[in-house]
Chains A and B, each alone.
Chain A
Amino acid sequence: MMNKLILGRYMPGDSLIHRLDSRAKLVASFYFIGIIFMANNWQTYLLAAVFTLFAILLSKVDLKFFIRGVKPLIWLILFTVALQIMFTRGGEVYWEWGVFSITEFGLTNGVFIFCRFVLIIFMSTLLTLTTPPLELSDAIEYLLRPLKVVRFPVHEVSLMLSIALRFVPTLMDETEKIMNAQRARGVDFGEGSLIQKMKAVVPLLIPLFVSSFNRAEDLATAMEARGYQGGDGRTKYRVLHWHNRDTMVVVAFVLLTIALIFLRS
């Protein structure tokens, strides 16, 4: 069931992209989502696509995982593209029926939106496929640090984040186990009417909540027993290092931005 989900999964590896600093990768991914909106003609989209494919090539992860990452979202993308095509007016009109029309501008816009979606998903998939979740949470903690000025509880949030990430696989295992146990007691998951389906979730959700609460309590006790008292005075075991290659990423993105500004119409 959960096996099909590629988005948000980490694939161990040792490529250049894998070794990059997680802060660089995180910022770069968000930055990419920002600058993809600067693209507005086929040259700029081509450039962005080549840039993305080059990054994927560097990561040495098979392209088909990225394509699989798009699959769960394909209907949303197609829906948006269809709306774009049907309702954009301008240029040569190919077909018209009431409020619907297919025009030159509509078609190009549709293609652009499609590219934009796919490239954004590719980039974020690249981030999660090549970065272990814990490194990501370290990066988020680092990047949130300036917020301390406005009394934002950075340490607590990052601790919550790393605990949450740590327990995602455990909870998934647990879910699978409880599901199996309830199926063995005659529950049909995902069968029957909508109401039956929702009812079938109760024997799964209640034990999951109960075990999460129990686990949280045990973990809190264990943390206190090991001398945890909050963020003050704590040191960091996992230290992030900024290398030349990370600076290269920044340079690459600056160059990409400049190129996009020149090429856009």
Chain B
Amino acid sequence: MTELIEQQQRIAPTPEHEGDSVRMNMIQAINSAMDVMMARDPDVIVMGEDVGYFGGVFRATAGLQAKYGKRRVFDTPITECGIIGVAVGMGAYGLRPVPEIQFADYIYPALDQLVSEAARLRYRSAGEFTSPITVRSPFGGGIFGGQTHSQSPEGIFTHVSGLKTVIPSTPYDAKGLLIAAIEDNDPTIFFEPKRIYNGPFDGHWDRPAKNWSGHPGGEVPTGYYRIPLGTAKVVRAGAALTILAYGTMVHVCRGVVEEAGVDAEIIDLRTLVPIDIDAIEVSVKKTGRCMIVHEATRTSGFGAELSALVQERCFYHLEAPIERVTGFDTPYPHSLEWAYFPGPVRIGEALKKIMKDA
């Protein structure tokens, strides 16, 4: 156990931070991260559809324009390829843009600028020009968002060399990771699980929604702190199996594990690229079982990469086939949302399957 605690501390060191901690939901934490970074660095600018005067459709940028002015926080035309293309140019000038794409479902018009330009600029210019941009975008389902307000396109971006992909699961992590992403000199896709903006979600859509006030991750320092990109966090230590998850699914998995009374180790990956392979390897070699859970569709999803990594590195420790619980290979449905969503029922069944020979 001591060893495990040491390991957890190595994986997720408690960051130094400035200022008091207060209760925040994830929106407030994200807002605070941008506020802190705009105050620290005059080159940080925030832009996107409705982010300026109005403060964003999810309120993530509320108050920033009033505080920092229109030249640093501004509304843009409705053109995602323009937003990202302009951000790449601003980054080449020397600014540190934080563009917002209103929903991850609408990031596709910007794909060319992200994949062909932002991701490759450093490489193709041998470091002469860089893209220190952080693309924030609400993502994920569980909100009756239907086909175009629910998608989880992280696998499209993890496939692109040159991009980093980050997904927080608590307000505390969201702020620390967003600050780290903004400070990072590489282009970063920062997906915010909108289902847990206001509170953790255990997958029981038919029970009353919780807010962040009862959760330790809702305690957020008001000042500057950072969580290094590429570091996972063990959110529940266990010996029976390893569950790899991120975003909303961290909370869903935790709920299922507690209800089932299985001693699972749950790892919140937090950064998908670069992935914290040590945290995964240490855990799976200890437990001998690995379950991967994500909302995104299954085929060629990020779970496939995780599964391959675990298979390559932990093959002789595996006592059961690696399980993947994911969204189905269909567009995200509206009325059948809770059949699609990898919720307690589907994860519970997968748990039984992976533990059946234990």
A-B interaction:
no
Interface residues of A (CB under 8 A from B): none
